[in-house]
């Protein structure tokens, strides 16, 4: 039976359907390196318990982390901080877990989850920094309702941030960028705009030489194709 007959994804009582994805099985029993679906909501308000060796470290969450290229390198470079990478793709998350495990990172956890569930995954004031890099642009008019960043979502996310917490956004898609700016303008009571850059690497002599975590996997491709990267930094007013 389809999950759609039950609660919509942004409803508190939404339940993930049973998955037949082969990587769902591979993600089970891997201990505290990865959590799947409903399990990702068991630590709401207690995310720091996921990092027993570093419970007071600042928490960075990356939405749409894919196979964890940025999250893993960030965790390597900042061992005193904690990182959670979220993506809805089972295989991508599995690849991220493999990388993190090889490097024996204790400050990194992956969540296979729908990003729309973020208010059910994190509690108030839990996130020190949030990263959203190259979210799917859903360019067609009929698809735009699927875009992750909306004014409503910015309002939902703000209370999850620590006071003064930063939200870092990058996109290559001009239409989505303009949509984001409109959404931000409608939520300025929750977020302060720290900076907006419409061509992030314009003054860089050799942007193609930039490495993770300064650039993402998709960003490397856009740089190669000389597509300008739009960047926004927000600060939570909560
Ligand atoms: C265009 S890719 C960008 C990946 C990565 N951030 C980068 O810059 O290389 C978008 C990523 O977001 C993930 N994604 C899209 N919608 C999502 C959702 N609703 N919940 C979780 N992940 C999502 C996709 O699986 C994909 O890995």
Model pLDDT for residues 208-234, shown as the tens digit of each residue:
999 999 999 999 999 999 999 999 999
How far is the C-alpha of 145 from the C-alpha of 139, rounded, in Å? 10
Report the pLDDT value the prediction gives residue 146, as an integer from 0 to 100. 98
Judge whether residue 5 has pLDDT over 80: no
Which positions ≥6 away from 225 have C-beta within 8 Å?
none
Report the pLDDT value the prediction gives residue 238, as an integer from 0 to 100. 80
Counting from 1 in the atom list of ligand 1, the atom nearest the Cα of 170 is 8
**Ligand 1 center from residue 88 Cα (angstroms):** 7
Which positions ≥6 away from 138 have C-beta within 8 Å?
144, 145, 146, 147, 176
Query: Is 225 annotated as catalytic?
Result: no
Counting from 1 in the atom list of ligand 1, the atom nearest the Cα of 65 is 6
**Ligand 1 center from residue 63 Cα (angstroms):** 7
Tell the residue nearest (CA) to atom 13 of ligand 1.
64
pLDDT band at 6 (very low <50, low <70, confident <90, very high): confident
- Would you give the distance in Å from CA 165 to the centre of its chain? 14
CATH number for 3-236 (one of 3.30.450.20, 3.30.565.10, 3.40.140.10, 3.40.50.150): it is 3.40.50.150
Counting from 1 in the atom list of ligand 1, the atom nearest the Cα of 92 is 27
For the stretch 49-96, pLDDT in tens is 999 999 999 999 999 999 999 999 999 999 999 999 999 999 999 999
Q: Return mean pLDDT, the chain.
A: 96
Which one of the listed residues 136, 172, 189, 199 is annotated catalytic?
A: 136
Q: pTM of the full predicted structure?
A: 0.97
Output the CA–CA distances (angstroms, integers) from residue 151 to 16, 66, 83, 122, 134, in the order listed: 25, 24, 25, 19, 18
Judge whether residue 122 has pLDDT over 70: yes
Ligand 1 pocket list (CB less than 6 A): 64, 66, 86-89, 92, 114-116, 133-136, 216-219
């Amino acid at each position: 039976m389809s999950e759609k007959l039950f609660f919509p994804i942004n409803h508190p009582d939404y339940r993930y359907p049973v998955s037949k994805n082969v990587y769902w099985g591979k993600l089970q029993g891997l201990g505290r390196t990865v959590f799947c679906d409903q399990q990702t909501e068991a630590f709401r308000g207690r995310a720091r318990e996921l990092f027993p060796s570093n419970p007071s470290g600042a928490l960075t969450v990356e939405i749409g982390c894919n196979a964890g290229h940025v999250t893993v390198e960030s965790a390597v470079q900042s061992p005193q901080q904690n990182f959670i990478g979220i993506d809805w793709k089972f295989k991508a998350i599995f690849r991220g877990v493999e990388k993190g495990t090889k490097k024996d990172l204790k400050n990194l956890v992956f969540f296979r989850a729908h990003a729309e569930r973020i208010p059910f995954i994190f509690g108030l004031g839990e996130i020190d920094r949030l990263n959203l890099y190259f979210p799917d642009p859903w360019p067609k008019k009929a698809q735009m309702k699927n875009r992750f960043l909306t004014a409503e979502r910015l309002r939902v996310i703000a209370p999850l941030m620590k006071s003064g917490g930063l939200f870092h956004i990058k996109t290559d898609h001009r239409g989505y960028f303009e949509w984001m700016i409109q959404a931000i303008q409608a939520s300025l009571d929750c977020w302060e705009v720290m900076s907006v850059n419409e061509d992030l690497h314009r003054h860089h002599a050799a942007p193609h030489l930039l490495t993770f975590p300064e650039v993402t996997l998709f960003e490397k491709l856009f740089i190669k194709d000389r597509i300008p990267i739009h960047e926004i930094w927000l600060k939570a007013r909560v």
